[in-house]
C-alpha cells in the first residue's frame, strides 16, 4: 500500500479519536494535539521504525541561586534516594516463566476480550493459553514504551522546571524510569519472548508531551495522566496475574510510581495557582481530552491485527474490548487515581465538571489523592 493510501485509510479509522480530541471545542487544545495525532495516528511514524526523532521545544532553565526552598519536594527527594533498588539483583530472575503453564496463568481467561464469544469456545486449552500470553505481551510492551516516554519526560521536566528542589527530585525519577525500562524490557525479551510495537494512541500522547514546550503541560500529561494510567494498569495486573516474577516486578515499580504522581501533584498545585483564566481553561480542556483518549482508545489494535482481524470487524473488536473485564478494570483503577488528583491541582472546576459527569467519572472525585497515600496504601487499596 502506498504511503498516501495508508494515510487515507488511517484518517478514516481515526475519525472517533479526532472527534474526541476536539470534544472541548478549545482551538488551542485541538492545535496542540493535531500535530501529534497526524504523526501518530495517520502517518504511524513509529511503525516498523528502529527509532524516531522528536523535536523538543522546551527551554532548559539553569538555577544559579541554588535555593532549597521547597521542603516537601526535598523530603520526597530524600525518600527517593533511600528507596532505590537494583533491577538486576533485587528481583528473582531465576524464576522460570512458562506462558502455557495452567498452574501459573499470566492473566485470567475472562480478561481476554473475546472470552465471552462463541469463537473462544472453539479454541483448544493450549490456544487459549497462547492467546493470554500474546495479550499480556501486548500490554507489557505498551508499559515498556510508556516507560521510555516517562524516562525522557523526566529528563525534560528536570531541565525545564525552574526550582532546584524539583530538579533534584527529577534526577531521581530519571533513574527510576530508566530502571522501569530495564525491567519491562527484560521481562518481555527474556521471559515472554515477545515484543509489540507502540500503540498509535499512546504514541500520539507521548509525542504531544515531548514536543510541547511548556513544562507544566509535560507535568500534567506525564505525572498526572500517564502515571495515573500506569498506576491503575500496574495495580490491575499485579492483582490478576498468577505469575510470581511479574507480581514481584510490578510491586517494585508501583512503589516508585507512587512518588512520581505525588511529585506531579506538589509541583502543579503550586504552579497552577498563578494561572490566568485563559491558561486555566486550556489546561482543564486538555486534561479532559486526554482523559477521553485514555478512557476509550487503548484497545489493543496491534494485537487484534495479528490475531483476530480475520474473525471480527473493527467495530465488533472495539465493542468487545470496551466491554471486556480488562478494560473495565483499567478504567476504574485509572480514574480512581486521576480524578482526585485533577481536583487537587484545581482542574476540576465548575465549568468542566459537567463533562466529567457525563462520562460518569465524578464518582471518583472524593477518593484520596496521591499525597495522602503511601506506596503501601497503593499496593493494598485495590
Q: Which string of x and - marks every residue 239-258 that binds Fe ion (by CB under 5 A)?
A: ------------------x-
CB of residue 152 vs Fe ion: minimum separation in angstroms? Answer: 12
CB of 305 to Fe ion, least distance (A): 27
Nearer to Fe ion, 37 or 174 (CB): 174
**Minimum gap (Å) between residue 150 Cβ and Fe ion:** 5
Number of amino acids touching Fe ion (CB under 5 A): 6
Contacts of residue 131, Cβ cutoff 8 Å, sequence gap at least 6: 112, 123, 307
In whole angstroms, how far apart are CA 269 and each of 17, 127, 196, 262, 339? 30, 49, 37, 11, 14
CA nearest neighbour of 149 among 227, 81, 255, 238: 227
Q: For Fe ion, which is the closer residue by CB, 44 or 156?
A: 156
Contact between 58 and 156 (Cβ < 8 Å): yes
Shortest separation between residue 20's beta carbon and Fe ion, angstroms: 25
Interacting positions 160-199 with Fe ion (CB under 5 A): 177, 180
260 touches Fe ion (CB under 5 A): yes
Q: Write phi, then psi, for 151 (nearest 5 degrees).
A: -60, -45
Q: What would the x/- binding string for Fe ion be over residues 206 to 235, using CB under 5 A?
A: ------------------------------
Task: Using CB atoms within 10 Å of the CB of residue 201, give its burial: 0 to 12 exposed, 13 to 18 middle, 19+ buried.
Answer: buried
Interface segment toward Fe ion; rule CB under 5 A; list 44-52, 142-150, 162-170, 311-319: 142-150
Closest approach, Cβ 260 to Fe ion, in A, equals 4
25: left (phi over 0), alpha (psi -120 to 50) or beta: left
Q: Which part of the chain contacts Fe ion (CB under 5 A), choosing from 55-63, 70-78, 148-156, 270-278? A: 148-156
Q: Are the CB atoms for 298 and 22 separated by under 8 Å?
A: no
Cell of 360: 460518569
> What residues have CB less than 8 Å from 258, skipping those under 6 apart?
231, 370, 373, 374, 375, 378
Residue 264 CB, nearest approach to Fe ion (Å)? 9
Nearer to Fe ion, 145 or 336 (CB): 145
Q: Which residue stretch of 95-103, 193-201, 259-267, 272-280 sits at the interface with Fe ion (rule: CB under 5 A)?
A: 259-267
CB of 274 to Fe ion, least distance (A): 25
C-beta of 21 vs 161, nearer to Fe ion: 161
In contact, 246 and 237? CB cutoff 8 Å: yes
Tally of residues, the chain: 382
CA pseudo-torsion sign 95, 89, 378, 151: negative
Contact residue for Fe ion among 21, 41, 73, 150 (CB under 5 A): 150
Of 135 and 253, CB closest to Fe ion: 253
Q: How far is the CB of 43 from Fe ion (least distance, A)?
A: 27
Contact residues toward Fe ion (CB under 5 A) are: 147, 150, 177, 180, 257, 260
Amino acid at each position: 500500500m502506498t504511503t498516501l493510501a495508508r494515510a487515507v485509510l488511517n484518517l478514516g479509522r481515526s475519525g472517533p479519536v479526532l472527534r474526541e480530541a476536539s470534544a472541548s471545542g478549545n482551538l488551542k487544545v485541538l492545535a496542540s494535539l493535531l500535530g501529534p495525532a497526524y504523526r501518530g495516528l495517520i502517518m504511524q511514524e513509529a511503525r516498523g521504525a528502529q527509532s524516531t526523532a522528536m523535536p523538543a521545544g522546551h527551554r532548559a532553565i539553569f538555577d544559579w541561586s541554588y535555593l532549597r526552598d521547597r521542603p516537601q519536594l526535598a523530603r520526597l527527594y530524600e525518600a527517593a534516594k533511600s528507596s532505590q533498588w537494583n533491577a538486576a539483583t533485587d528481583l528473582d530472575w531465576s524464576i522460570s516463566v512458562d506462558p502455557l503453564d495452567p498452574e501459573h496463568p499470566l492473566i485470567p481467561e475472562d480478561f481476554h476480550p473475546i472470552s465471552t464469544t462463541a469463537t473462544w469456545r472453539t479454541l483448544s486449552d493450549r490456544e487459549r493459553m497462547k492467546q493470554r500470553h500474546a495479550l499480556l505481551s501486548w500490554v507489557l510492551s505498551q508499559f515498556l514504551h510508556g516507560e521510555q516516554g516517562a524516562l525522557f519526560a523526566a529528563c525534560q521536566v528536570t531541565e525545564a522546571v525552574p526550582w532546584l528542589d524539583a530538579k533534584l527530585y527529577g534526577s531521581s525519577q530519571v533513574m527510576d524510569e530508566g530502571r522501569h525500562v530495564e525491567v519491562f524490557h527484560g521481562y518481555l525479551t527474556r521471559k515472554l519472548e515477545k515484543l509489540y510495537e507502540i500503540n498509535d494512541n499512546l504514541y500520539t500522547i507521548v509525542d504531544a508531551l515531548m514536543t510541547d514546550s511548556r513544562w507544566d503541560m509535560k507535568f500534567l500529561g506525564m505525572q498526572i495522566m500517564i502515571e495515573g494510567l500506569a498506576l491503575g494498569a500496574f495495580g490491575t495486573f499485579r492483582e490478576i496475574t498468577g505469575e510470581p516474577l511479574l507480581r514481584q516486578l510490578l510491586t517494585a515499580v508501583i512503589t516508585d510510581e507512587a512518588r512520581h504522581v505525588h511529585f506531579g501533584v506538589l509541583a502543579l498545585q503550586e504552579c497552577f495557582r498563578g494561572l490566568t483564566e485563559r491558561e486555566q481553561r486550556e489546561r482543564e480542556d486538555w486534561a479532559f481530552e486526554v482523559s477521553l483518549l485514555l478512557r476509550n482508545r487503548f484497545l489493543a489494535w496491534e494485537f487484534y491485527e495479528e490475531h483476530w482481524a480475520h474473525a471480527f470487524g473493527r467495530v465488533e473488536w472495539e465493542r468487545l474490548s470496551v466491554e471486556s473485564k480488562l478494560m473495565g478494570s483499567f478504567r476504574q483503577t485509572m480514574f480512581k487515581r486521576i480524578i482526585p488528583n485533577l481536583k487537587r491541582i484545581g482542574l476540576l472546576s465548575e465549568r468542566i465538571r459537567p463533562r466529567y459527569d457525563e462520562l460518569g467519572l465524578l464518582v471518583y472525585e472524593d477518593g484520596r489523592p496521591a499525597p495522602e497515600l503511601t506506596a503501601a496504601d497503593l499496593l493494598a487499596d485495590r
